[in-house]
A = this chain, B = another copy of it.
């Protein structure tokens, strides 16, 4: 792809100067040429040249400043701003029960979002069609052209490899083996990234949720097929094969302790996709039903064990609990107690803050990373000393 900053001019220095200048403009405030010269450390003629190029590329606009301060005599100051509306990004969740799409500008400001519920029985074709329809609707409502998309990121349950193929996805029929990346890239001309849903939730909670400023975190998505995502030093830990955090399998190890069995009040396991049945058990337990309370206790003990395994392996600063466990009364206290018992420095344990949008927000952040890489990155292969 041609360099957006220099229109294909590959001069490294010119690229760096453009990135440095854009960085000085990225917070969205209009600034004067003189301020830019001060902020960037570049010479005035260099900044003038860079700005001209960025205006041509559509990334910077000159701003009419009506209330000129009058301090300046002679040549009036010229004001510029970053055109965040020059492009757009999408964060998408393709989930078992829902498709969700969030649209934002190049600074990540949300311009629109929409969710459609999906039947858990949809086959991949139907599910992808629903996703495309939801995207089209969000774009149409916001009056944004598909051509102005710079990056799209998509969250999906299951183990997803770096190219976007679902290596294992038991939550949705036909999902395992699906080349989700290739399928979605046909619908967009910009880069499309695919990522595991719990990984995106970890990213989102770190960006705008319960773990802002905490770079070592584990996000636990509690559900009938629980998963987890983790950041180490602020960066996603995917694992060698993209499967890090897939603790659901721990349930299988040597014991019949799947959530659908643990939460059953009838002796027969729940349907592994029937979240409504789970909600019923939770409600009953809250209302004082003893059988349901016993089932809840069993489930919580198991969840605590899974989270403890993650904590012992990774030693994070904070554990964020989401998925429907975020709606469970009393999931935090047993977790905290157990972790304090067995960890020297027990991590903070908090509930997720972002709610239903967490996965799509994480996807939006991944798309935004791609954009920022194109716009603001000064590092580039060959620049660093080794």
Residues of A within 8 A of B (CB): 16, 159, 167-168, 216, 228, 230, 232, 237-247, 249-250, 252-254, 301, 304-305, 308-310, 312-317, 338, 341-345, 347, 378-379, 383-386
Contact = CB atoms under 8 A, between A and B. Distances in A.
A378 B313 CA distance: 34
Contacts of A159: 344
Contact of A243 (B16, B246, B344, B386): B344
Contacts of A247: 309, 312-313
A344 B301 CA distance: 26
7 contacts: A16-B385, A240-B315, A241-B315, A243-B344, A246-B312, A253-B308, A379-B385
Copy number in the complex reads 2
A378 B16 CA distance: 22
Contact of A305 (B253, B315, B344): B253
Nearest to A313: B313
B383 A378 contact: no
Given A239-B315, A241-B344, 14 more contacts: A240-B345, A241-B315, A241-B317, A243-B315, A243-B343, A244-B313, A244-B315, A246-B343, A249-B308, A253-B305, A253-B338, A254-B301, A309-B309, A314-B314
B385 A343 contact: no
- Identify which of A246, A301, A338, A341 gathers the most chain B CB atoms within 10 Å of its CB: A246
Nearest to A159: B344
B312 A245 contact: yes
Contacts of A239: 216, 314-316
Nearest to A215: B240
